[in-house]
Amino acid sequence: MSRFRIGFLPLVDAVLPIVAHEYGLAAKEGVSITLIRDPSWATVRDRLIYGQTDASHLLAPLAIATSMGLDRPPVALAAPFMLGLNGNTVTLSNDIAAQIGLDVIGDVTRTGRALADLARARASQGARLRLAVVHRYSSHNYILRYWLAASGCDPDHDVEIVVVPPPFIAESLAMGEIDGSCVGEPWNSVAVAGGHGVIVAATSQIWNRGVEKLLAFRRETLDQRRDEVEALIRALHEAGKIVSDPAQREDVARLLARADYVGQPVELILRALSNEIMLGQGHNATRIRDFLVLHREAANFPWRSQAMWLYSQMVRWSHGALDEQGFDEAAAVFRPDVYRSALAGTGAILPGASAKVEGAIAQPLAVGSHSGRLIMGPDRFFDGGSFDPDRALDYVRSQAK
């Protein structure tokens, strides 16, 4: 049996490889999975690039940054399978949430303006709000910045964006080290349950189909073990069916809750899995549409345009260089070709295109696919913006910094 050691961080969106392993789906495809949990993305990345793991649950922008060598010599990574869309929230300390007014929850435009106003006021007093993200190269960072910028505040100057590992968010909010954060589940729910913070926005409200985690391989591994990688992809795709089945949700949550996986209470993990989020201590659950999309609507398909959008934000915030080649390199990390070849003939939905205009779908829309019927749900950005991968340079130039 071919073996894959897969690195992951304790987060709800690590669920697909865990389910593929625990439900015997990998074994059915002739693949065995060993899961390796780490406390930091730097370590997940290092294990992958130095060969201690064969694949990893990884932040999409970090895979791009690693391939392009933004911080260190480049190691080419390949991402043929996405592990989910969105699933993060902006959580503020009780004090700051009270200052922007709890009645604005639900309308991300108004919440954004209120937060931006407060941020500018605090900056002018020389006491900038300190907001945490999980990593420099994370969707959390780019989505938070997108939201703040579109709401009228400069994320580089009006606030201080720092890095805090997700398991420390609750503690950091409680200790007043940070005023707010944008991290994945269950860590926001943990902060809410402890009474340390209030969720004021879900990233799905900011970009309805935001690119999030992916399964990364070294490109070398993908080339050398192509058949085995494809078998693993089929197992993960099957796992997607299980996690999107409401009848199996509780079992999946119980599994994730185990100490060797996420190690948090079942009821907190269930919130993201069921799109029912408790925004503050003592609140009723709020249903947030598309809070975390793990599988449906070909959510696991690596759209190259999503890699390119991420690169546009890297350029916007001076993490990458503005040139055509950068966009091509970012897009090349995503491997829709491998996805299609792995799932051909399985009945899985195989989109015909590899890139699309991001943010263009307002109503569910049927789109072309090689097999299966693909209805794409809304993928809007909250400010109505859209990203055309054929005009990526124009997009960056048009964005306010």
Q: Which chain residues interact with other proteins by CB under 8 A?
A: 38-43, 46-47, 50-52, 71-73, 134-136, 162-165, 167-168, 177, 318
Helix intervals (H) in 185-225: 187-193, 203-206, 219-224
Minimum Å distance from CB 222 to other proteins? 20
Which of 165, 326 has the CB closer to other proteins? 165
CA-closest candidate to residue 108, choices 329, 291, 355, 246:
291
| Residue (of 64, 79, 59) closest to 13 by Cα position | 59
Which pair of structure tokens corresponds to residue 280? 């503050």
Q: Which of 72, 397 has the CB closer to other proteins?
A: 72
Q: Which lies closer to other proteins via its Cβ, residue 194 or residue 372?
A: 194
Task: Return d(Cα 142, Cα 157) in angstroms, integer.
Answer: 15
Least spacing, CB of residue 43 vs other proteins, in Å: 5
Measured from the CB atom, the residue of 32 and 52 that comes closer to other proteins is 52
Token pair 């950091």 in the structure block, residue: 172
141: left (phi over 0), alpha (psi -120 to 50) or beta: alpha
d(C-alpha 27, C-alpha 35), whole Å: 14
* Residue 47 Cβ vs other proteins, minimum distance, rounded to whole Å: 7
Q: Which is nearer to other proteins, 140 or 237 (CB)?
A: 140
Residue 4 Cβ vs other proteins, minimum distance, rounded to whole Å: 18
Provide the greatest CA pair distance for the chain: 62
Nearer residue to other proteins within complex by CB, 29 or 38: 38
Q: Which amino acid is at 339?
A: Y
Q: 45 or 356, CB closer to other proteins?
A: 45
Looking at the DSSP bridge assignments, the partners of residue 393 are: none
Q: Considering the complex, what minimum distance in angstroms separates the CB of residue 130 from other proteins? A: 13
When the beta carbons of 88 and 204 are compared against other proteins, the nearer one is: 88
Cβ 24 to other proteins shortest distance, Å = 14
180-184 vs 129-133, strand pairing mode: parallel
Neighbours of 383 (CB within 10 A): 16
**Is cis: bond before 389, omega within 30 of 0?**
no
Structure tokens at 243: 């996690």
CB of 162 to other proteins, least distance (A): 7
In this structure, are residues 312 and 64 in contact, taking their beta carbons and an 8 Å threshold? Answer: no
CA 267 centroid distance within chain: 21
Q: How far is the CB of 183 from other proteins (least distance, A)?
A: 11
Q: Which residues, 6 or more positions from 128, have their beta carbon under 8 angstroms from its beta carbon?
A: 119, 122, 158, 159, 160
